[in-house]
Amino acid sequence: MDVSKTWDWEKNMNNEWLIPSVESYYFANIWKNSGKTRVLDLGCGVGRHSMLFYDYGFKVTACDITPYAINYLKNWQKDRGINFDVIECDMLNMPFKNNSFDCIYAYHVLSHTNLEGFKKLFDKIYDILDTNGEIYFDVLSKKCWLYQDSGYPKMDSNTILSQDIHELDVPHICFDYDELTHILKRFEIVEIKEVHQIKTDKLDNKEIHYYTLLRKK
């Protein structure tokens, strides 16, 4: 059975989630300069990246599973006097038609499903991307603390159910390189970066992500 789940935004909302990621500025520029216009902010949260892409002139569609996040973004739109599509939906059941988007940005989102769900998700992503469309996303490596040392329960061979208080029983799928590239073989893999985040004042345990850029063949 496929499954996806996210954390409770009402308990975790702070100003950090209003600041776009560094990578989003890069892709806003790269995609704009390559003539891409239609972007999906997949798992948009409260909308920090949706707003950034809108300000760069993209036709934005934002979606998230969480009603609180969706309402927050819609109110943010009203405060700014702007409008773009904001849709509440599960990423495993997105309502978009084939070839709807030139690019998809999914930051710290696609890990929150199990193995069956991840495979289903990328079948849908392939369909909704237009030819030569691109997606940028990240997932956890099996080298990370969560998979190797947390002792948290497993949902399947790749998926850990977090027991952290702020995301209790939220799935986190983890891969090794060969597993990930095999699932993504329908796409052209433009780049995969293995990024290590060692303990900091905000991070208690080692996190290792695969930051990945794909292109639809």
Give this prediction's pTM. Answer: 0.93
Q: Is residue 2 part of a domain?
A: no
Q: What is the mean pLDDT of residues 152-163?
A: 95
Return the pLDDT at 197.
Answer: 85
What pLDDT, on the 0 to 100 scale, is given for residue 165?
A: 81
* 102 in a structural domain: yes
- Is residue 1 one of the residues assigned to a domain? no
Q: What is the pLDDT of residue 128?
A: 98
The confidence band for 204, taking pLDDT boundaries of 50, 70 and 90, is low
Rounded to an integer, the average pLDDT of 123-134 is 98
Residue 38 domain-assigned (yes or no): yes
Residue 75 within any structural domain of the chain: yes
- Residue 154 has what DSSP assignment? B
pLDDT (0 to 100) of residue 8? 63
Count of domains in the chain? Answer: 1
DSSP string, 36-74: --EEEEET-TTSHHHHHHHHTT-EEEEEES-HHHHHHHH
| 50 found inside a domain | yes
Residues 46, 13 contacting (CB under 8 angstroms): yes
Rounded average pLDDT over 115-139: 98
> Over 80: is that where the pLDDT of 9 sits?
no
Structure-block tokens of residue 169: 């029983």
pLDDT for 50 equals 98
Q: Give the model's pLDDT for residue 164.
A: 86
Whether residue 25 is predicted with pLDDT greater than 80 in this model: the reply is yes
Q: Which whole-number Å values give the CA distances from 16 to 9, 13, 46, 89, in the listed order?
A: 12, 8, 11, 24
What is the rounded CA–CA span in Å between residue 172 and residue 146?
9
Q: Among residues of the chain, what percentage have pLDDT more than 70?
A: 91
- Examine residue 156 and state whether it is found in any structural domain, yes or no: yes
pLDDT at 200: 62
Alpha helices in the chain (DSSP H): 9-12, 22-33, 48-55, 67-80, 115-128, 145-148, 177-183
| Alpha-carbon span 23 to 107, nearest angstrom | 9
The domain in which residue 134 lies consists of: 9-216
Answer yes or no: is pLDDT of 82 > 80. Answer: yes
pLDDT at 22: 96
Model confidence at 86: pLDDT above 80: yes
pLDDT of 44 reads 96
The domain that holds 165 is classified in CATH as 3.40.50.150
Please check whether residue 127 lies inside any domain of the structure.
Answer: yes
